[in-house]
Amino acid sequence: TRISKSCLDKMMAYYKSDKSLIKLDYESALKQVSISGEPVFVHKVEYYAWTEIDDESMLDRALNQIYPRIKENEELQNIRREVLLNPGPATTTDSVKYAQVQSDICPRELEFGGLMEWCAEKLTSFAAGTDEYTTVMFGCSGTGADEAMVCSVVPEDGRLLVIDNGSYGNRLAKIAKVHKLNFDVFESSTYEPIDLKALEKVLSSKKYTHLAAVYHETTTGLLNPIGEICTMAHSFGMTTIVDAVSAYCGIPMDLKTLGIDFMASTSNKNIQGMAGVGFVICNKKALEATKDIPIRNYYLNLWDQYQYFQKTKQTRFTPPVQTFYALRQAIIETEVETVEKRAERYTACWNILVDTVKKLGLKMLVKEENQSHLITAILEPDVPGYSFEGLHDFAKEYAFTIYPGKLGNINTFRIANIGDIQPEEMQRFCGKLTEYMKSIGL
């Protein structure tokens, strides 16, 4: 129970008001304060197997009703903890996993609509003001959210410029091609910073109405200067479209300050929920401006989804129900930790990894000053005994999952430190990484 000072003062005043209340329990005082007008909120946790035991009747209840539930959940409660060092889906807390165990509910019920509305507002609040921005949600992956942005916001007479400096920038271009948009690609190095002067020269032609870019290139861990890029685009009257799938809630951000009009992310990375909900945080005015654009994708249309949700508090098509319960819990845990503290924890894990990489004589693809502190691409060692599969299988024995690189011409493996990963776990992994590398003669 967490109470404010004003609430405590009122509880104490009630206690002192009557000498017969000498043995007053705090729940009764809290109830009285609530009746008198102090707002008291309760978070209801479904199917929570817990009880207090003060007397024999409570003991009977515990043995006959509560303990059988605990036994039923024993298998769930003993899940081995896997530390996912891949770039997503990320490691989740047990409380996020358990949040999915709910009574069956039709998602068209008002109760579930309220849950989705609450999630949308909270997701917006982590990166923008809810007065100017809103979140549109779909049952999909982060790529689905990217496609919803790209295919929904560029009009027939518009022209899009896509910045491609990695697999995910390239994916934005592929989406634009599939939907037959008028677009060009600004190609840049996959591991070096974008040449902003060269980009400005292209934008100054004023032939483009929209710009699409990736905040954090998950391919390599390269962090793009998205604020400078989007501010520059705005200066030429362009609308900005940003893939922040692996940046949102891992890096403190304010979309208005950064100049981002549309930003896509997902429930399964730094927000630390389960895979299944893709969403786009939209500037309301920019979203309103898309309402007359012909629909290119029946399922992933931002304006249709937004309009329908505003009227009904429902998505147009069946949402992933259990995933939303997990997302609600993940949002609560993000609020408790705060995005700022989460970024600090991620950086602490990154520092441990980088220190180990240097001690082993391994090389990183991206210079430290250009890295995100979220994902690190490490060049594979030129040692005869090394293979990614060997390293992967060795790490997996100790409950660590790692991921190969995605650059066809450069051999790397990637270590992510997103999700519910603690510094002591990164320390343990680095010990195993050291053990493996020494075993092959590095």
Statement: residue 44 has pLDDT above 90: no
**Of the given ranges (30-34, 325-329, 347-351), which has the lowest mean pLDDT?**
30-34
The model's pLDDT over 252-283, given as tens digits with 9 standing for 90+, comes to 999 999 999 999 999 999 999 999 999 999 99
Residue 252 Cα distances to 156, 269, 270, 334, angstroms: 34, 15, 11, 12
State residue 381 phi and psi, 5-degree precision: -70, 145
Q: Write the pLDDT tens digit of every residue in 163-176.
A: 999 999 999 999 99
* SS3 category, 342: helix
Find how far residue 270's CA is from the centre of its chain. 4
Convert the pLDDT of each residue in 409-438 to its tens digit: 789 999 999 999 999 999 999 999 999 999
For residue 406, pLDDT over 80 is answered with no
Which residues, 6 or more positions from 5, have their beta carbon under 8 angstroms from its beta carbon? Answer: none
Total length of the chain: 442
Q: What are phi and psi of 32, to 5 degrees?
A: -65, -40
Q: Could you tell me which of 213, 229, 221 has the C-alpha nearest to residue 250?
A: 221
| Cβ atoms of residues 210 and 159 within 8 Å | yes
* Residues 378, 237: Cα–Cα separation, whole Å: 39
CA distance 274 to 334: 14
Tell me how many degrees the CA angle 382-350-230 measures, rounded to the nearest 5.
105
Please say if the pLDDT value at position 76 is more than 80. no
- CA–CA gap between residue 161 and residue 199 (Å, rounded): 10
Q: How far apart are CA 282 and CA 290, in angstroms?
A: 11
Counting runs of H as helices and runs of E as strands, what totals does the chain give? Answer: 18, 14
Mean pLDDT of the chain: 94
Residue carrying the six token digits 């690609």: 185
* Separation CA 442–CA 413 (nearest Å): 16
Q: Which of 3-17, 208-222, 308-322 has the lowest mean pLDDT?
A: 3-17
| Predicted confidence band of residue 46 (pLDDT cuts 50, 70, 90) | low
Q: Which amino acid is at 266?
A: T
pLDDT of 79 above 80? no
Structure tokens at 18: 């009557």
Region at 432 (left for phi over 0; alpha for psi -120 to 50; beta for the rest): alpha
Give the Cα separation of 348 and 359 in Å (integer): 17
Report whether the peptide linkage leading into residue 89 is cis, meaning its omega lies within 30 degrees of zero: yes
Q: Which residue has the tokens 């817990």?
A: 50
Which pLDDT does position 186 carry in this prediction?
Answer: 98
pLDDT digit string (tens) for 234-258? Answer: 999 999 999 999 999 999 999 999 9
The rounded distance, in Å, linking the Cα atoms of 158 and 290 is: 12
Structure tokens at 417: 């430190």
pLDDT tens per residue across span 81-116: 899 999 989 999 989 999 998 999 999 999 999 999
Kindly tell me if the per-residue pLDDT of 21 is higher than 90.
no
- Name the band, by pLDDT with cuts 50, 70 and 90, for residue 75: low
Q: Which domains does the chain have, with CATH numbers?
A: 5-74 (no CATH), 96-336 (3.40.640.10), 339-439 (3.90.1150.10)
Quick: pLDDT tens for 276-323. 999 999 999 999 999 999 999 999 999 999 999 999 999 999 999 999
**Helix (H), strand (E), coil (C) string for 88-126:** CCCECCHHHHHCCCCCCCCCCCHHHHHHHHHHHHHHHHC
Mean pLDDT throughout 129-153? 98
In the chain, the percentage of residues whose pLDDT exceeds 70 is 98
Average pLDDT rounded to a whole number, residues 180-200:
97
DSSP string, 259-311: T-SEEEEETTSTT---TTEEEEEEEHHHHHTTTTSPPS-SSS-HHHHHHHHHH
Is residue 1's pLDDT more than 80? no
